[in-house]
Amino acid sequence: MKKQLLLLSALFISILGFSQGIEFERGTWKEVLEKAKQTNKPIFVDVYTSWCGPCKKMSKDIFPLAEVGKEFNANFICYQIDAEKGEGIKVAKKYEVMSYPTYLFVKADGLLFSRSGGSMNAEKFIAVSKRAIADMNDPKPLSVWEKEYAEKKNDPAFLLDYMNKRLTVGKSNAELFDEYLALLPSDQRASDKIIELYQKESRNIGINSLAYRNLQENGILFFPKIGIYINMFMSQAINNSFREAYKNKNEHLLQQVVEANDLMPKTPQSRPKEEFYMIYYIKTNDLNKYISNATLYCDNSLMAVSSDSIIKMDKNALMLFEIKQRRGLAGKVDSTYLAQLRGYMTHANRDKYSLALNSVAWTFFEKVTDVKSLENALRWSKRSLDIYPDNQMFIDTYANLLYKLGQKENAIARETEAVNLARSKKSDTKEFEETLKKMTAGKKTWK
């Protein structure tokens, strides 16, 4: 009798488990495609990374829900893959995954027919599934649109519909956006429809596009409608072209980026040209040019602002935020998010300057051997600690630079301080402890 009860209990638990949440397949990508063929079901793929906070939130709070499981299990073969490990790297590259989590909806032959991404509640996530099913059953698939494009490319209405269709699979419409703008008279290039296109395509446009020139030429028309978003769209375009420049080692495009950035309105968030050069040369592995530009960036921009000035900047920023919030100008946000915003504003400049100084100092520690350059890095590291004293990572950077410069005893003392500070905050101390052991044993702490 006891065995029968145990069996019934196990069966009941199994049934409950079956009905709860999304059931993810455990095979290889090839095996998942094969199962899709056998079952005649499309595939839902959650592409994640181990460090992605929104990915963890979805896995913990949304995927296990019964209503979500019911929707996805009925309609898809469900699969999860880490974009930075194993065959996940290849899958993420094939489907041009750029952010996490990304949700791919794929047919058994590997054809992507819909995509989405981000953290959301159950209702919105179920809506993503239903939209994907609609995309799959669309009687006019993307392949048909692509064939029609050659003969209808001069039809603005067709181009708008074609761009919307391409968005369902996450394809860039930057070139089509330019083609659409070119079909319009200049005075019609700042309409609400155009603004909507900028909101959809700002992550794809570059500084050599018609879309970018349109923002420059029609700023007066745009400003009453979107205000500072004009500069946000332009800054995004500058960043897009900058990434393209260092990925392709294109110094001509780099110079165009710097010139475009120089024409932007100057704000406390403006980037000096040395920062662009510094990042470009570390990305393209030109260490000597990186060192010279990083030195200019730190000494002329970051070190030029005193610790006291940074404290005042944060006080003023917080005061301005509080005034806007009281006057209802900060937008409608819940109390939790408001508290997060207030916390960020309290130390925004402290974090900006100290993180930038520490980042360059750490790169010098890892890659540079010249004593004078290392001594410069030590100065920058010290300033990061002047700005943000109780940061164990910054103390660790300072200790490692001391150690590389031969100041072993002082380095050990500062690394011990980093370990103790991390421990007091209940943070992970493993890396600091390993570094301390190497220092004590006289071993290298850099590669």
Catalytic annotation, residues: 52, 55
| Residue 331 in tokens | 């937008």
Burial class (CB in 10 A: 0-12, 13-18, 19+), 114: buried
Enumerate residues 6+ apart whose C-beta is below 8 A from 333.
341
Cβ–Cβ < 8 Å for 266, 288: no
Q: Give the residue ranges of DSSP H helices in 168-302.
A: 174-182, 192-201, 210-217, 219-226, 229-247, 251-262, 273-283, 287-297
Give the DSSP H/E element, type plus range, for residue 434. Answer: helix 430-441
CA angle at 130 for the pair 128 and 131, rounded to the nearest 5° = 65
Q: What share of the chain is helix, strand, coil (3-state, %, to 5)?
A: 65, 5, 25
Interatomic CA distance for residues 61 and 122, integer angstroms: 9
Quickly list DSSP for 398-432: HHHHHHHTT-HHHHHHHHHHHHHHHHHTT---HHH
Interatomic CA distance for residues 239 and 178, integer angstroms: 18
Enumerate residues 6+ apart whose C-beta is below 8 A from 51.
none
| Residue 431 in tokens | 């890396």
Name the 3-class secondary structure at 72: helix
Based on DSSP, count helices (H) and strands (E) in the chain, helices before strands.
23, 4
- Which DSSP letter does residue 228 get? T
